[in-house]
Chain A
Amino acid sequence: MSATPAAQTSRAPGAAFIFKKSLISALVALVLFSLMIGVRTEAGSDGQLTYWTRFGDLAAIVAAVFGGSIIIELLRQWWGPVETVRVVPAPVQSALSLAGRFVAPVLLVFTFLVPVLFYDERYILDLGILVLTYVMLGWGLNVVVGLAGLLDLGYVAFYAVGAYSYALLATNFGLSFWVCLPLAGILAAFWGVLLGFPVLRLRGDYLAIVTLAFGEIIRLVIINWQSLTGGPNGVTGIPRPTLFGIPLTPGDDGLAAMLGIEFSPTHRIVFLFYLILALALLTNWVTIRLRRLPIGRAWEALREDEVACRALGINTTTTKLTAFATGAMFGGFAGAFFATRQGFISPESFTFHESALVLAIVVLGGMGSQLGVALAALTMIGGFELFRGLDQYRMLVFGMAMVLLMIWRPRGLIGHRAPTVFLQRQQAISSDLVKEGHG
């Protein structure tokens, strides 16, 4: 797919062309931002709207767009036409498999060592817990989206079901975290099946919108069913987790006293870190094992071609329902963990934004690649944290990053696939060739 020399010369436009193009961009920007940036409205104390102008900001932004588009055009010329590679070339493939072989264990060992290395840095430990939570959610959703090819935009519903199951069971009946964890998983899986039934016949975008609606329904019910869930105020006083019954408190029966060491609040953080790491690794392990079972093969077959699947006698109903249930179960586990970590949950934590974030992690991770999902979660959540100082610009930057990453790598950061089943030799292909399923 290389361009002909003639095409290449015509692809190298002159300075005048670049100038003209940038001028058009600047003009478009001027019109776009003229009212939204150039004029600022605010309701005064008496409810009367007033406005004032900000032409300086407007000029700065338009100038930035002009300069930016010149730079982009120059970069584009310098880069040259983009070639499409279908089968990943052998050297890249071997490098990738080498990296894959080493990156995963190195990352794993590093993750295990994080609480040791950064014992005194509470911020890094908290961030690590957050990243691992999203890694787990990503791996859970990966079963539904990456393996079975069912587009789920309401994954946060199961996260919420898990969190509220634990929170309500623990605060109302005093059940311990270790009893509630499986219960939360089972309840979430139950909801997964409940959602799965109506959407069995739906495909693609219909499935997307129904799952989105389902996520919203769960959130709205949580907000409005005040007698059970506390409504917008949420559930407070959720018990902290214990090490199989031994609390991590400064008291005499606490873990610190038992081990004869001095108590420190960091112990609990470290414990939470290893807890979510264990849960995430469990998710990963189960997924990897399931992929080798007939059900996992059926998921991947379903993603590639549903009609062919049915023709081969695969029961698509159970295949879809198990995918939903399995994904939902891991979401429920993660939710229970979230509740016990926070000690407080409210419907605000379970908005569509979370679903979109987890879906972005799965897609950026290359849809189905376990390592990719982990790396994408690290990139997204870590990157999101980097911009914490920017406050209200943070979501703006996040949205832009999502758009740019999609344009740059639509197939995810790790855009290649190693097949689960192969004839003579394992050959990785670009994930352009992998279908995404029709839901």
Chain B
Amino acid sequence: MDYFAQQLINGLVLGSIYGLIAIGYTMVYGIVGMINFAHGDIFMIGGFIALITFLILVSFGLTAIPLILLVVLLVSMAITALYGWTVERIAYRPLRHSFRLAPMLSAIGMSFVLTNYSQVAQGARVKPVPPIITGGYTLHEGAEGFVVQLSNIQIIVVITTIVLLGLFTWLVSSTRLGRDMRACEQDQTMASLLGVDVDRTISMTFVIGAALAAVAGMMYLLYYGLVDFFMGFVAGIKAFTAAVLGGIGSLPGAMLGGLLIGLIETLWSAYFSVEYKDVAAFSILIVVLIFLPTGLLGRPEVEKV
């Protein structure tokens, strides 16, 4: 039972990171109707920028950890958001009214560009960082000496995710930008007739998605203590799986899907085999889609002739 509780905690933390990435997928899909294949790599870039900012700050002699974390968070969110904006501007906007496969392939190309760009720019080797946040709480001490622990970093990841999710839900439901986003999601032509700047709204969607991915990248860096240029691909696929599982286009769905994927992955590794954890996640995606083709919280797509 203790073991299970520990795995549950680990799974929820991992799921929060996936959920943050999945929100970016689901928002872009909701508005533009395309899979932003480069989003996983945006997450990776976010991790790298967090790492570099962290290194520079530490070498300047900063020691106040909360201050460092705040600066790293803001810098990586800002720069990664600009990456998201640029990717949309270069690779997707010219293809907005093109046929559906074109932006998808362009996105796959962009994903290759970002992966290899960071390999060329920062080298192929894994970049480790020493643990920045240490310590934690012991929740329960079992009879056989097994300890259920909740580390500080896990608390930070979960709290950041909850705060961002709340902020983001507020943004979509109660601000001008959120209203524009929802309007564009329903009908871009009509939205632009009613004075919504569609281009700007779509750009902002990419910017917000990339900023959230940057947070996920930073959390990943803090939690696992490493980044490498290839981590975006697998994380990206899993986050997309999470978005689809939760019902693409739905924000709570993305978070729910992320948590589920995180839990499935962790529990599968804990009880069955570590090697097949990705296979388990993908198989469950397939099984869910067979029975619930629109995901858990998605709306059924209306077929029009």
Contact = CB atoms under 8 A, between A and B. Distances in A.
B158 interface: no
B289 A198 contact: yes
Contacts of A436: 99-101
A193 to B, nearest CB: 15
Contacts of A221: 276, 279
Given A37-B121, A210-B285, A205 B279 contact: no
A400 B305 CA distance: 37
A271 interface: no
Contacts of B94: 407
B116 A206 contact: no
Interface of B is mostly: helix
A398 B53 CA distance: 30
Contact of B120 (A199, A203, A360, A396): A396
Given A51-B56, A205-B248, A216 B282 contact: yes
B156 interface: no
Nearest to A360: B105
A402 B282 contact: no
A298 B153 CA distance: 56
B17 to A, nearest CB: 19
B293 to A, nearest CB: 5
Given A201-B290, A206-B289, A399 B112 contact: yes
B113 A42 contact: no
A41 B56 CA distance: 10
B233 interface: yes
A36 B122 contact: yes
B79 interface: yes
A49 B129 contact: yes
A410 B98 contact: yes
Contact of B128 (A43, A308, A406): A43
Interface in A385-431: 392-393, 395-396, 398-403, 406-407, 410-411
A359 interface: yes
Interface stretch (A26-34, A136-144, A233-241, A253-261): A26-34
Interface string B270-301: 00010110110011011101100100000001
A37 B75 CA distance: 16
B86 A28 contact: yes
A47 interface: yes
B8 to A, nearest CB: 25
Contacts of A117: none
A36 B50 CA distance: 11
Interface of B: 29, 34-35, 45, 48-49, 51-53, 55-56, 59, 75, 79, 82-83, 86, 90-91, 94-95, 98-106, 108-129, 233, 237, 240-241, 244, 248, 273, 275-276, 278-279, 282-283, 285-287, 289-290, 293, 301, 303, 305
Given A41-B55, A205-B29, A224-B279, 14 more contacts: A35-B53, A36-B117, A41-B123, A43-B126, A151-B101, A198-B287, A201-B293, A205-B35, A206-B248, A209-B244, A217-B283, A359-B105, A399-B110, A403-B110
The 8 closest A-B pairs by CB, nearest first: A402-B109, A399-B112, A410-B102, A399-B113, A213-B282, A410-B98, A406-B106, A403-B109
